[in-house]
Structure 1
Amino acid sequence: MAEQWLRQFKLTIQLQKGAPEALDLSQFKIYFRIGQATRDTPQAAEIYIYNLSDDTMNKLAGNDSENKDTIITLEFGYKGSPLETIFKGQVFQFRRGRDNPTDKWLCVLAQAGEHLKNYGVINQSIPAGTTIDDAGKVLNKEMEKYDVVTGEVPQLSDQQYPRGRVFFGSLYNHMEQFYTENDIVFDISDGMFTANTIFGHLDKAEIIINRDTGMVGMPQLTTEGLEVTCLLNPKLKRGVRINVDMKNMQTESYDIAYEQQEKDQVFKNPNKATNTDGIFIIQSVEMVGDTRGTECYSNLVCTALNATVPKSGVSIKAVD
């Protein structure tokens, strides 16, 4: 993405659950914040749409903001490049308010995989002799019934179960248990399920992050990983490798509180928490944008390839 200028947005919201009609709201002022708190939580979005008429608000949210589970899609791109989906999920709440006497807004709170996480159920059994990889495929096939498609997933073991196994109850809970058993972390964002090994990465091209490709400020090494801010780029997703310009990396001070010395120093030591090539794996992505303002950023938390990684923090299991 050589020329990151003349931003383009497209926001559509389904009018009723299961209905084909959707409203295109791309011409309004929109402010959004999209992110994921941990590896284990689906992508969530908070989107503000400004100065809609009361009729339009009621059409989207219902007279008493009772509409739920409708599909919302936000796409983004720059002039000369195609629009790419940066969020697709289900609405779970509408809020109404205003910033001042003249500017009112409709806030949409949505989550990717909402139907899967809250309503997904499974009632399947697999016979003895089924491989672990085939068991994963059974779960993934059930998942696709809830508006989540399967993306890149690693090949699992061909070891066979000596006895049959029953999947019954919450589909999401069974997925968490199954993939944890096999040292796999998964991600649900943009309406897509992807997975990779705990210290692995997606099989996608490495993305260079420097001042010529949109880096904003300087990379900051923290206990949780390397924090990097750049111009919003839809290709920056969890599990993707990036090559960061480390010339101006900022290191963090060690904790000088009583009895805290040396407890977190290894994760702030640039010789152990980074590598000479500056290659990192994205663990957390937050996207912030304003269609009529200056904000349009991707905020990343990354861990270095083949380096010491934090045992807690947003890149592992949310904040302590």
Structure 2
Amino acid sequence: MGEQYARNWKVAVGGGGKELDTAGLRIRFATQQQDSSTPHVLNLFITNPSRATIEVIREEYKKITLSAGYNSDIGALFSGEIIQVRSGRENVIDTYCHIMATASERPRNFGVVNKALAAGHTYRDRIDVAAKAFAEFGITVGHIDDLGNKKFPRNFICFGMAKDLLREVCEATGASWHIHNGKLNVLKNKNTLPDGAVVLNSDTGMVGLPEQTIQGVIVRCLLNYRIRPGTKLQINESSIQRAAFNPSVQGAGSNELLKDNNILGVAADGFYKALLVEHNGDTRGPNWYTEIVCVKADGGSSLALYNRGIRTEERD
């Protein structure tokens, strides 16, 4: 990453990508993005917007893209559809416009499949059926991991919700799926996106020290649009603050998980996989950060993963 100063951002709405005129206005935003099927969410606040600005974004399900970075080096943090626009007052002087958007709510909730696959089909064929259903909502195929060459000896009827078909395939192959900025991604639990590792240290924008928790390793850095769910991170092992045991917990509780290096251990090689990514910004305040919850890139897990049925091979 280049020099991280001189913040830059833009907000585009509508199918034509028309930019909102936010010059001189305060913009605050927060995104929540996971490597699971849960839709990504954007909350964006514009302080003291004009009535014309509010009307531009009033229509529901209009597309919105938020990009941010530094100088000319900016990239998309979030791309999705507006589900609510509301306005009000922060105080006696200032008004606001709040935009809430999701990245994959409609394809996830309304994408259906109805197709027969012949004997000899593979898991990838089933993924392609679901991807075709999502394509009706503007979702394209991003990165799909190799799910093996297993061929089914019988035909298979794909019928029902596309999300359920994806869930079944991912549970059978040890993977997870998510939609990020209009692209469907399917990643094996031990794999990361093939974009290369993002190095995080004090020279590249890391803020404070990473901390080990029962949910995974939490690290904070200056806002970086290159980090998204599934991204490979490189963090110096010696900089991670180990979690303290809770003496009030007895038996196989959080203490046992923290002691098990196969579960929440710190990666000796320094490579991690981003599970949860949150971008937070304030164009007139100090907040301009990316916060990540990550686990070992070679198959580490966390309580968050266990709660949704994802387990490492070492543990099983």
TM-score above 0.5: yes
Deviation, 1:200, is 1.7
Q: Aligned partners of 1:168, 1:96: CA distance in 2, in Å? A: 42
User: How do 1:128-277 residues align onto structure 2 when only pairs under 5 Å count?
Assistant: 128-257=119-248, 260-261=250-251, 263-269=253-259, 273-277=265-269
Deviation, 1:146, is 1.2
Which among 41, 49, 54 is matched to residue 51 of structure 2? 54
Deviation, 1:180, is 2.2
More displaced stretch, 154-163 vs 286-295: 154-163
Q: Aligned partners of 2:163, 2:189: CA distance in 1, in Å? A: 19
Deviation, 1:118, is 2.3
Q: Aligned partners of 1:290, 1:171: CA distance in 2, in Å? A: 37
Normalised to the residue count of structure 1, the TM-score between the two structures is 0.87
Q: Aligned partners of 2:306, 2:41: CA distance in 1, in Å? A: 16
On the 8 A contact 1:254/1:265 being kept in 2, the answer is yes
- CA 300–261 in structure 1, closer or farther in 2 if over 3 Å, else same: same
- CA 308–269 in structure 1, closer or farther in 2 if over 3 Å, else same: farther
**1:59-110 alpha-carbon deviations (Å, 9 max, x no partner):** 421xxxxx311101001121242x2111000111112122111211111111
- Kindly tell me the number of residue pairs found equivalent between the two proteins: 306
Hey, what does 1:64 align to over in structure 2? none
On the 8 A contact 1:227/1:300 being kept in 2, the answer is yes
2:271 equivalent to 1:279: yes
Q: Secondary structure at the match of 1:195?
A: strand
Normalised to the residue count of structure 2, the TM-score between the two structures is 0.89
The RMSD of aligned alpha carbons is: 2.3
Letter in 2 for 1:53: S
Which among 22, 38, 42 is matched to residue 45 of structure 1? 42
Which among 14, 23, 32 is matched to residue 29 of structure 2? 32
2:123 equivalent to 1:127: no
Q: Aligned partners of 1:124, 1:299: CA distance in 2, in Å? A: 41
Hey, what does 1:299 align to over in structure 2? 291
Q: Secondary structure at the match of 2:38?
A: coil
Letter in 2 for 1:50: T
On the 8 A contact 1:13/1:23 being kept in 2, the answer is yes
On the 8 A contact 2:139/2:182 being kept in 1, the answer is yes
Hey, what does 1:114 align to over in structure 2? 105
Deviation, 1:209, is 0.4
Q: Aligned partners of 2:275, 2:297: CA distance in 1, in Å? A: 11
- Structure 2, gaps ≥5 residues long: 310-316
Letter in 1 for 2:55: N
User: How do 1:27-106 residues align onto structure 2 when only pairs under 5 Å count?
Assistant: 27=23, 28-36=25-33, 39-61=36-58, 67-81=59-73, 83-106=74-97
Letter in 1 for 2:7: R
Identity %: 26
